[in-house]
Amino acid sequence: MARFIFVTGGVVSSLGKGLSSASLGYLLKSQGYKVRIRKMDPYLNVDPGTMSPFQHGEVFVTDDGAETDLDLGHYERFTNISAKKSDNITTGKIYSDIISKERRGDYLGKTVQVIPHVTERIKQFIKKDIKNEDFVICEIGGTVGDIESLPFLEAIRQFSNDIGKEKTLFVHLTLVPFLKSSDEIKTKPTQHSVKELRSIGIQPDIIICRSQQSIPLDQRKKISLFCNIPIERVIETVDVKTIYEAPISFFNEGLDKQVLKFFKIKPKKKINLSPWKNVTKIVTDKNLKVINIAIVGKYVDLKDAYKSLDEALVHGGIKNNVKIKIIRIESDKLRISEIRKKLIDASGILIPGGFGKRGTEGKIACINYARKNNIPFLGICFGMQMAVIEFARNVLKIKKAGSSELDNKCFSVVGLIEEWSKNGKIVKGTSTKLGGTMRLGLYKAKLQHNSKIKDIYKSKIIHERHRHRYEVNIKMKKKFEKKGMLFSGLSPDNNLPEIIELRNHPWFIGVQFHPEFKSRPLDPHPLFSSFIGAAKKNNEKPNN
């Protein structure tokens, strides 16, 4: 029998609902329960796939090919439970489904309204694809009081009444600010946020209070009194040095204990937090060697744009017992004359995924610098394509080499994928319809014998997540390999290049997929572990 936990937020956005949900999911899973975590987003886009990273941050991709909110990345990294398409929904998706049904006449002439039609669709999402889960944690995006969030809040209120209040728990996350001028912690914003929530019929069962410093007992009592909950269910979460302290912090505050107590059930086994303590110790150790990694991209001004990538680099650092310092370089504003100065302190260079022409020449110039100076290089998706273009121009001497995505008059060494196989079916590529039309999700690749990539993965076959509609031209394979660029990973049918590497370079690899989506703090991805290991070795050279 599934029990449902709804996580809402108040006062301000970006308080950490995703991390709180992920941490709670980990704690409940560690106590022997089966957990599922879901996200409901209030924006009108059908999914974040066509949204600019400046608007919404990273687009996270699941095994089954859903383009989702970045919070699902937090869920996976903390719980090691792979998310599905059925774990993320937006207002846009809900309205799209409802309008399609209305056009077909499925409502039999009825007036289509927010209540009951929109709220019913939300409730269907909440309970869909649930099999034998013990807990389903549902995070509601936005902040209580937002117009966009109201249908979701109304839906979870109804849902609680439908299945019974003993099977649902409401967790509300708020800000408890510290005012330096008066040297006081203020509980009033939390009180008002809970009042707003209660005005629409939801009484929170647990309140998580985000604060810069520990909340005194008197203030906790005040929150308990005015918000009508027992004091032991007022949970504080003080700002931590690293997000990987969050499960430890919530365990010490008894969050999981209060959840189980509410549902009148007992833990099945004891939680072992030593792995998280070891990770936290490494990440916060000020005496560890620092390795500089340059990320050259066009979204570097917004940290969330490369969230999974940043975390995967940290995971690689954990594996190699080093700290990672990321040097963010905006490729759009990069002058060729500045490249050496910008990269002189970098022990490794990474070109991430992306779309569009802006900033491409800066990326290509940085790849050229990495190749010529034997600096460890990792190109991901678009970054791999740029590495192929750089090699074609400067080694194969094809001066007009480029991608048809960027220039339809170039010599196309990268072009639109005409078709690919998925689940035994042929999918046709397109560049005219953008939403959900890429090669998305988990695909298989086979690795070449006697290649660096096979040594890294220690496997002949790998499965990685993709998000792209352009691909390196397989017809150029022999010409590239003759000059030293090995196509070391291919799709099972040999039609799609998945991995390239340079033979005469210490560590130069490009991958068409996104390995960062599968990296975990407790299980770092082998590609990032190897990349950071190579960067660490490069850092130890006498001239560094």
| 544 pLDDT above the threshold of 60 | no
Q: Which of 29-43, 196-210, 419-433, 491-505 comes out lowest in average pLDDT?
A: 419-433
Q: What's at 9, amino acid-wise?
A: G
Query: Nearest-CA neighbor of 241 among 277, 194, 271?
Result: 277
Exactly one of 381, 466, 471, 498 is catalytic; which is it? 381
Band of the pLDDT at 274, cuts 50, 70, 90?
very high
> What are the extents of the domains in the chain?
3-278, 287-539
pLDDT (average), residues 514-534: 97
> Same topology for domains 3-278 and 287-539, yes or no?
yes
- Classify the C-alpha dihedral 456-458-462-463 as positive or negative: negative
What is the model's pTM?
Answer: 0.92
Please give the pLDDT value at position 72. 93
**Is residue 410 flagged as an active site residue?**
no
**Is residue 525 flagged as an active site residue?**
no
Distance between CA 253 and CA 235 in Å, rounded?
6
Exactly one of 315, 468, 514, 525 is catalytic; which is it? 514
Q: What is the pLDDT of residues 440-453, one digit of tens each?
A: 999 999 999 999 99
- Superfamily (CATH) of domain 287-539: Class I glutamine amidotransferase (GATase) domain (3.40.50.880)
Q: Can you tell me which residue has the tokens 């990792």?
A: 378
Q: Can you tell me which residue has the tokens 């929530």?
A: 197
Integer CA distances (angstroms), 184 to 31, 190, 215, 275, 307, in order: 37, 15, 10, 36, 34
Exactly one of 74, 117, 516, 525 is catalytic; which is it? 516
Q: What is the pLDDT of residues 62-89, one digit of tens each?
A: 999 999 988 999 999 999 999 999 999 9
CATH class of the 3-278 domain in this structure: alpha beta
Q: What is the pLDDT of residues 369-417, one digit of tens each?
A: 999 999 999 999 999 999 999 999 999 999 999 898 888 888 999 998 8
Please give the pLDDT value at position 38. 96
**Is residue 514 flagged as an active site residue?**
yes
Query: Nearest-CA neighbor of 31 among 263, 281, 315?
Result: 263
Please give the pLDDT value at position 381. 94
Q: Can you tell me which residue has the tokens 């397989």?
A: 474
Widest distance between CA atoms in the chain: 78
Helix ranges, 200-288 (H): 217-227, 246-253, 255-262, 274-284
Q: What is the pLDDT of residues 228-240, one digit of tens each?
A: 999 999 999 998 8
